[in-house]
């Protein structure tokens, strides 16, 4: 477990004592001595996410690659599959809840803007196997006559800029849109943050909910909005009002005061093609002197760090393949594993009951873990 090798590397990032505490809390610890204890199974499931191209037995061999001169069990693929099913997804979900969180210090470049922690939210879809065991949860796509394509899992993540650490993630069938999953992440926002998002997230209800958390926002407005200039500001931006699309009993038509920054963006492709278009940025940072327009335009570019997270997952780790799991609990495990393995892995040192005074017992080495994350 603690020897050199891939298993040893994982234990440097995710403390074994933390895994034991999570297994105990979720009631997933084994009741008798097994060839594959629950703790080892958790690390095996994590390793499956890092070695997507490898079979179960190959991943198992990688875990014990550094255990030279020690007799290591060689379970067959079916034994590993059954062992993976035993704990379910509860330990991985709880592990993610503990590990996820902001990790950037104030001095970290790219993580803060004028004292506000920059975070971004975005979504993507992952292809999953077309199996009867999962279609009850993830419906097929099709028209009146034909069904087509892979089943899709929709993933929405809240990411810290500068470190790409995950603050939260929500996923499930793509029958729920991105805003539906994004609303589940609002509890991770607070007044110390500014949320960056793409044009899809400019719905009034979502912006009102973000404002209710105390967080500020900066996002791109959709083209269908034609804001009226209510109060021009010295830096070229202006104040306007966003209204709710429907009447609410007792509240009327909701109104939210925002600031609009218009910028002409020119994109030049490798073949020399140039395209210029107007972008409208919408923000709740209304003071043009404290938050100049040109700085907010530069800040918005950090939103793309969520896109690079998904690129790493879909193009580098998965390499365009579908997820390997063929059951709903397995897909839940697989959806949580990339989050548990790297981003925010040192955050448990801040969590009550899981730090030096809790079950971890001070065995954690946050400085070394932080160095490995970078």
Give 352-371 pLDDT, tens digit per residue: 343 323 333 333 333 333 33
Around Cβ 2, how many Cβ atoms within 10 Å?
A: 10
Same domain, 191 and 86: no
Residue 174 lies in a domain: yes
The pLDDT value recorded for residue 226 is 81
With contact defined as beta carbons under 8 Å apart, do 211 and 193 qualify?
no
Say what the pLDDT of residue 359 is: 37
Q: Is residue 92 part of a domain?
A: yes
What pLDDT does 313 receive? 77
Q: What pLDDT shows up at residue 168?
A: 92
Residues 18 and 139 both lie in one domain? no
Residues 263 and 199 in one domain: yes
Are the beta carbons of 154 and 176 closer than 8 angstroms?
yes
pLDDT the model gives residue 314: 78
User: Does residue 120 sit in the same domain as residue 234?
Assistant: yes
115 shares a domain with 45:
no
- pLDDT score of 157: 92
The residues, any chain, with a CB within 8 Å of residue 70's CB and separated by 6 or more, are: 3
Residues 68 and 179 in one domain: no
Instruction: Indicate the helix (H) or strand (E) that contains 344.
Output: none
Query: Cα–Cα distance between 333 and 84 in angstroms, integer?
Result: 9
On whether residue 118 sits in a domain, the answer given is: yes
Q: Go through the chain and tell me how many residues it has.
A: 374
Distance from the Cα of residue 100 to its chain's centroid: 9
Q: Which residues of the chain have pLDDT under 50?
A: 1-6, 339-374
CA separation for the pair 16, 341 (Å, rounded): 13
Q: pLDDT tens across 6-21, in order? A: 456 777 778 888 999 9
229 and 247, same domain (yes or no)? yes
Instruction: Check the CA dihedral 319-320-325-326 and report its sign.
Output: negative
Instruction: Assess whether 231 and 290 both reside in one domain.
Output: yes
Domain limits for position 303: 101-310
Residue 155: per-residue pLDDT: 92
* pLDDT tens-digit map of 269-323: 888 899 888 889 999 999 999 999 999 999 999 998 888 888 877 777 777 788 8
Domain contains 333: no
Evaluate whether residue 254 is within a structural domain: yes
Same domain for 179 and 288, yes or no, is: yes
Distance of alpha carbon 89 from alpha carbon 336, whole angstroms = 8
At 148 the pLDDT is 75
Tell me if 116 sits within 8 A of 299, measured CB to CB.
no
If asked whether residues 44 and 93 sit together in one domain, one would say: yes
Q: Which of 355, 357, 338 is nearest to 346 (CA)?
A: 355
Q: At 85, which helix (H) or strand (E)? A: helix 77-85
Residue 194 in any domain: the answer is yes
d(CA 344, CA 169): 12
Residues 111 and 30 in one domain: no
Give the per-residue pLDDT at 119: 96
Query: Would residue 111 count as lying in a domain?
Result: yes
pTM of structure = 0.82
Structural element, H or E, at residue 165: none
Given 310, 329, 362, which residue is the final one in a domain? 310
Q: Is residue 140 within 8 Å of 130, Cβ to Cβ?
A: yes
Q: Which of 259, 290, 310 is the last residue of a domain?
A: 310
Give the pLDDT of residue 250: 63
316 assigned to some structural domain: no
Going by C-alpha positions, the residue among 165, 181, 162 that lies closest to residue 173 is 181
- Examine the fold and report which residue of 258, 287, 310 is the final residue of a domain before the chain moves on: 310
Residues 34 and 161 occupy one common structural domain: no
pLDDT reported for residue 252:
64
**How many domains does the chain contain in total?**
2
């Amino acid at each position: 477990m603690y020897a050199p090798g891939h298993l040893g590397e994982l234990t440097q990032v995710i403390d074994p004592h933390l895994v034991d505490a999570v297994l105990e809390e979720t009631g997933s610890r084994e009741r008798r001595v097994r060839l594959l204890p629950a703790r080892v199974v958790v690390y095996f499931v994590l390793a499956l996410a890092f070695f997507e191209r490898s079979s179960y037995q190959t991943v198992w061999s990688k875990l014990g690659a550094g255990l030279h001169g020690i007799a290591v069990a060689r379970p067959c693929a079916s034994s590993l599959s059954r062992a993976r099913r035993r704990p379910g997804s509860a330990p991985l979900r709880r592990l993610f809840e503990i590990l996820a969180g902001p990790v950037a210090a104030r001095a970290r470049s790219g993580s803060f803007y004028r004292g506000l922690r920059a975070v971004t939210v975005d979504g993507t879809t992952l292809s999953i196997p077309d199996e009867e065991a999962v279609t009850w949860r993830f419906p097929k796509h099709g028209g009146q006559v034909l069904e087509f394509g892979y089943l899709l899992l929709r993933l929405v993540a809240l990411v810290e800029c500068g470190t790409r650490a995950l603050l939260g993630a929500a996923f499930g069938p793509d029958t729920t849109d991105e805003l539906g999953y994004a609303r589940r992440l609002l509890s991770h926002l607070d007044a110390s943050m500014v949320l960056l998002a793409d044009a899809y997230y400019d719905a009034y209800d979502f912006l009102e909910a973000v404002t209710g958390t105390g967080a500020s926002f900066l996002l791109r407005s959709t083209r269908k909005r034609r804001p009226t200039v209510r109060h021009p500001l010295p830096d070229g931006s202006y104040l306007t009002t966003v209204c709710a699309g429907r009447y609410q009993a007792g509240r009327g038509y909701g109104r939210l005061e925002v600031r609009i920054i218009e910028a002409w963006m020119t994109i030049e492709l490798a073949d020399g093609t140039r395209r210029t278009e107007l972008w409208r940025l919408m923000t709740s940072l209304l003071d043009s002197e404290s938050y100049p327009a040109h700085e907010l335009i530069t800040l918005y570019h950090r939103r793309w760090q969520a896109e690079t997270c998904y690129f790493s997952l879909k193009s580098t780790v998965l390499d365009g393949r579908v997820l390997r799991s063929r059951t709903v609990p397995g897909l839940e495990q697989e959806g949580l594993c990339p989050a548990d393995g790297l981003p925010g892995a040192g955050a448990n040192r801040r969590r009550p009951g899981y730090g030096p005074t809790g079950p971890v017992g001070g065995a954690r080495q946050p400085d070394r873990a932080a160095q490995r994350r970078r």
